[in-house]
Chain A
Amino acid sequence: MSAVRRGPLPGDTIARKFCNAVRLRESRVALRQKEFGIWQEVTWREFGEHVRRIAMGLAAHGFQPGDVASILANTRREWTYCDYGILCAGGVSSGVYPTDAAGQLEYLCSDSGSSFLFVEDDEQLDKALQVRERLPRLRQIVVFDMEGLTGFEDPQVTSLERFEAAGAEYDRMHPGEFERRVDSRGADDLAILVYTSGTTGRAKGAMLSHRNLRCVMENFPPEVEQSEGDDKMAFLPLCHIAERMIGQFLSLETGSRLNYVENPETVAENVREIAPTIMLAVPRIWEKFYSAISIRIKEATRLEQWAYKAAIGLGYRVADLRFAGRPVPPGLALVNRVASFFALGNVRRAIGVHRTRLALTGAAPISPELIRWYCALGVDMYEGWGMTETSGGGSLNLPFARRLGSIGKAAPFNEMRISADGEILVRGDNVFMGYLNQPEKTREAIDADGWLHTGDVGVVDDDGFFRITDRMKDIIITAGGKNVTPSELENELKFSPYITDAVVVGDKRPYLTCLIMIDHENVENYAQERSVPFSDFASLCRSHEVQELIQGEIDRVNAKFARVEQIKRFRLLEYKLTAEDEELTPTMKLKRKLVNEKYRDLIEGMYSQTA
């Protein structure tokens, strides 16, 4: 499928772009969402009507251009309706993670000065009601799903349905108001606020202007182009810049269809139903798919195992040649295609990536082995890098310019270089306006020459490929004076189907140790298969065999590193952590700093005993 964009979607703000997209695409399908088990399509026209009514609903309730509204919901189409509705009303849109607690919601609403809050359902509404007394600027709460709220009356709360109806009415009474609102903002005005997950201290609201967003939208590398024929799956939190930009905003720019998952737990089933042609996911998701397959291969018949092994072996040979930039001999290419068709087709279908021509990974470090595996499987995977402060864009590997283990070359829309102390710097129109209400933090981030200091330490090779070694503040210096980049070890560990996440510890310590979060399902099955008795999660973690299993995984990883970089001891986290827990970021990564503090005793235990 070749898809060359005919030039950017006209419009210098997101709102104008949206109106143009509705006009140009009319009856084409914009997005899909499941209702009572059936995928329902929404055309651009219908999409546009929702957005217009929401924008007018805001206007009817006294929302002014420049005002801020927040959205607290899982990834679903109403999130996107409201996002564009707020922007079309001339406002600023700010996302709140659905897993955030009431206290966090209060902080985000008051820091952003939100006057309107859109919430998903009664569960999210309860958070808002708990803290609304302390939010004097909050005027109205709008609820998407009123199930369980039929008897609930509150002057400050309304349903999205009623809100849209009020908007339609207002629209009729005030012709031209919508257009006036859309035109009220310019390219350099603030468009959205994206709060960074705040692994250190309180969350910071990154301000992104229309120009920032447009920079990435309009100049996304054409080699990995999306088009109206593409299906994407929207499932990562929309308040995170990755899904917002690569999913939502690029769909606006290019017309690719967005398919919303039912809820965060149904991703594995939904991906098979949607069979996306382009898929962006975080490493954790790619790791999960891989673990599921490797477990299934272990349980398969001998013949199936043999076929898989032979076919993936050929796939690796082809993938490695491609990575080396060398031609693939026609004979090998043919055998690979045949083997891939017969033996790997089912594996791709089992995951749901059988139509995927482009798999993107980003937002966290990934093991190069995993990218190699996907490429061998026949799913072209490219690692990219970006952050909230660069509007989600930064660098990307491309079909004819990629290097395993690198984050690719700088995207055409921004410059990148390495500072004297090894930090990656970025400059371009995609670099954000600054942190809301925190001018000092902004000055720390963007220097006088306009370079953004990313906090990532990296290197660049002669061909311009960047490689990230670690977060600046994460680098461990052991008591012996050795510099260790924990993420290298951690990524290798996470490659194990039995390990979900790991945090390597060892700053100012004699040796390295590690806290490990096991993959509940896979370890449980491992234990049950081997008749290891266990009852709850903690007893599973404590069982001798599981400890041995993880020790084995650590030994495997240790073998790849020098002695001083090896992990000497480890502990398993005996609680099953969920996204609501403070230890995890909304993208389910362990927060290094918090884990280091919270599990201090566990960590001290690894250093107190003498071997």
Chain B
Amino acid sequence: MSDDVILRLANIESNYGPVQAIRGVSLEVRKGAIVTVLGANGAGKTTILKTISGIIDPHKGQVWFDGEEISRHDPDWVVRRGISHVPEGREVFPLLTVRENLLMGAYIRRDRDQVRGDIERMYGYFPILKEREGQEAGQLSGGQQQMLAIARALMARPKLLLLDEPSLGLAPKLVKEIFEIIKRVNAEEGTTMLLVEQNARIALTTAHFGYVLEVGRIVMEDSCDRLLQKEDIKEFYLGMKADNVRGERRWKKKKQWR
């Protein structure tokens, strides 16, 4: 285990009642990296993030963050350790203004002056939010809400940002824009990111390292450059099918994960 691993999951099993969503997941995130977890619906991606941020307690296994064990603690305790969660479906406070939403993100901070500066920085990344500063968040478009959710999470100055499907329900152009900003934040602020995505193409071109999750277990891990070259990734996640003699194909190859 090298020193620059900031997050480590060891043999995590999490259930929703009797339903086991993850069946033993071990993964590592290095400091300053963007790491992605790919998987189909129901593979257990969101459950991993929820287990990290303390919304779900794992049935088994440990989560280590920055040298200490953080599993089985309350979410607010975890946030104070430096982990912010951008939930699936944005979940902004609809009746608060954009600015108020951002202030909610800084709830745990006491350094008011710097908070003000950070809000300006967020407006630097997301100029549209400045324009809408006084507007209720519920009136923003989906893409703007996603930007707000990310900015709000960054307001806590997290060491690790958990991103749950930021591309959900957004137009391709917006998706591109948001991922450009995610990359910039990572490069400029050095924020480590764990990104869960269904849009494999954008995730693999954004992240440095990736894991593939299938029914609650990791079946593949590698650098994103190499993952993009794998046959199974091309076939099952990027929708690139080798052309066949008939010009169409219904049957699926067997996944082999190699």
B221 CB to closest chain A CB, in angstroms? 5
Complex Cα distance, B178 from A97, in Å, reads: 50
| CB-contact partner of A122 in B11, B220, B250, B257, under 8 A | B250
Give the interface centre of B24, B218, B244 by most chain A CB atoms within 10 Å.
B24
A528 to B12 alpha-carbon distance, docked (Å): 9
Instruction: Point out the residue from B13, B23, B26, B251 that lies within 8 Å of A534, measured CB to CB.
Output: B26
Across chains A and B, the number of contacting residue pairs, with CB separation under 8 Å, is 61
Among the 9-residue stretches A329-337, A490-498, A535-543, A588-596, the one with 4 or more Cβ atoms under 8 Å from chain B is: A535-543
Closest CB in chain B relative to A529 CB, distance in Å = 9
Q: Mark B236-253, 1 if CB is under 8 A from A, else 0.
A: 000000001110011100
- Give the bracket for the number of chain A residues in contact with chain B: 20 to 34
Residue from A148, A531, A532, A537 in contact with B250 in the complex, judged by beta carbons closer than 8 Å: A148
Question: Is A444 located at the chain interface by the 8 A CB criterion?
Answer: no
B65: interface (CB < 8 Å): no
Report the bound CA distance from A539 to B258 in whole Å: 12
Does A156 make an interface contact (CB < 8 A)? no
Known: A122-B250, A126-B244. A575 touches B11 (CB 8 A): no
Contact A578 B220, CB 8 Å, known A126-B245, A129-B246: no
Tell me whether A535 and B251 are in contact (CB under 8 A). no
User: Does any Cβ of A come within 8 Å of B85's Cβ?
Assistant: no
Is residue A183 within 8 Å, beta carbon to beta carbon, of the partner chain? no
- The answer on a CB contact under 8 Å between A533 and B256 is no
Q: Judging by beta carbons under 8 Å apart, are B251 and A539 in contact?
A: no
Contact of B245 among A123, A130, A147 (CB under 8 A): A130
Question: Is the beta-carbon distance between A576 and B24 smaller than 8 angstroms?
Answer: no
B218 contacts A535, CB within 8 Å? yes
A-contact bits for B152-164, CB 8 A (1 contact / 0 none) = 0000000000000
Q: Which residues of A contact B211 (CB under 8 A)?
A: 535
Q: How far is the CA of A123 from the CA of B23 in the complex (A)?
A: 32
Which residues of chain A have C-beta atoms less than 8 A from B24's C-beta? 524, 527-528
Interface residues of chain B: helix, strand, loop or mixed (majority): strand
Interface centre among B25, B26, B250, B254 (most CB of A within 10 A): B26
A222 to chain B, nearest CB (A): 43
- C-alpha spacing A460/B135, complex, angstroms: 93
Return the contact of B221 from the options A527, A531, A535 (Cβ within 8 A): A535
**CB-CB nearest in chain B for A265:** B254
Is A121 interfacial (CB-CB < 8 Å)?
yes
Instruction: Specify which of B23, B245, B256 is in contact with A578 (CB 8 Å cutoff).
Output: B256
B60 to chain A: which residues have CB within 8 Å? 531
A residues in contact with B23, CB < 8 Å: 528
| Interchain CB contact under 8 A, B251 and A122 | yes
Most-contacted residue by chain B among A122, A148, A536 (CB, 10 A): A536
Complex partner residue of A123 from B11, B219, B251, B258, CB under 8 angstroms: B251
- A534 nearest in chain B by CB position: B26
Give the residue among B10, B220, B246, B258 with the most A Cβ atoms within 10 A: B246
Q: Which of A515-569 contact B (CB under 8 A)?
A: 524, 527-528, 531-537, 539
B11 near A531 with CB under 8 A, answer yes
**A400 interface hit (Cβ, 8 Å):** no
Instruction: Give the shortest distance, in Å, between A127 (CB) and chain B (any CB).
Output: 9
Contact between B245 and A129, CB atoms less than 8 A apart: yes
Residues of A within 8 A of B249 (CB): 122, 126
Q: Indicate with 1 or 0, residue by residue over A112-128, a CB within 8 angstroms of chain B CB atoms.
A: 00000000011101100
A130–B249 CA distance with the chains assembled, in angstroms: 13
Q: A130-B245, A531-B10, A535-B211 are in contact. Are A148 and B251 (CB under 8 A)?
A: yes
Contact B218 A536 (CB under 8 A): yes
A531 to B58 Cα, complex, angstroms: 13
- A152 part of interface (Cβ distance < 8 Å): yes
Contacts of A122 in B (CB 8 A): 246, 249-251
B32 interface hit (Cβ, 8 Å): no
Mask, A124-151, CB within 8 Å of B = 1, is 0110011000000000000000011000
Interface contact B256-A576, CB-CB below 8 Å: yes
Shortest Cβ distance from B256 into A: residue: A578
B190 within 8 A of partner (CB): no
Q: Does residue B61 face the partner (Cβ distance < 8 Å to A)?
A: yes
A111 within 8 A of B: no
- Indicate which residue in A125, A129, A536 contacts B219 across the interface (CB closer than 8 Å): A536
Determine how close the nearest CB of chain B comes to the CB of A574; give it in whole angstroms.
9
Asked whether, in the complex, the Cβ of A532 is within 8 Å of the Cβ of B219, the reply is: no
Report B11 CB to chain A, min CB distance, Å.
5
Residues of B within 8 A of A531 (CB): 10-11, 60-61
A575 x B258 contact (CB < 8 A): yes
Contacts of A578 in B (CB 8 A): 254, 256
CB of B50 within 8 Å of the partner chain: no
Query: A580 on the interface (CB 8 Å rule)?
Result: yes
* A532: contacting residue among B11, B244, B251, B258, CB under 8 A: B11
CB neighbours of B61 from chain A (8 A): 531
Min CB distance, B235 to chain A, in Å? 14
Q: Cβ of A152 and Cβ of B246 under 8 Å apart?
A: yes
Question: What's the least CB distance linking A517 to chain B, in Å?
Answer: 14
Chain B residue at minimal CB-CB distance from A151: B248
A123 to B250, CA, bound (A): 8
Interface residues of B in 106-132 (CB under 8 A from A): none
- Nearest-Cβ distance from residue B53 to partner chain A, whole angstroms: 20
Residues of A within 8 A of B26 (CB): 533-535
User: How many angstroms from the CA of A531 to the CA of B257 in the assembled complex?
Assistant: 23
Shortest Cβ distance from B8 into chain A, in angstroms?
8
Give B25's nearest chain A residue, CB to CB.
A535
Of the listed residues A528, A533, A539, A580, the one surrounded by the most CB atoms of chain B closer than 10 A to its CB is: A533
Given contacts A528-B24, A536-B257, 12 further A-B contacts (CB under 8 A): A126-B246, A147-B250, A527-B24, A528-B11, A531-B61, A532-B11, A535-B26, A535-B221, A536-B218, A536-B220, A537-B219, A578-B256
List 5 A-B residue pairs with CB atoms under 8 Å apart, sorted by A's residue number.
Answer: A123-B251, A126-B245, A152-B246, A532-B11, A578-B254
The chain A residues found within 8 Å of chain B, CB to CB, are: 121-123, 125-126, 129-130, 147-148, 152, 524, 527-528, 531-537, 539, 575-576, 578, 580
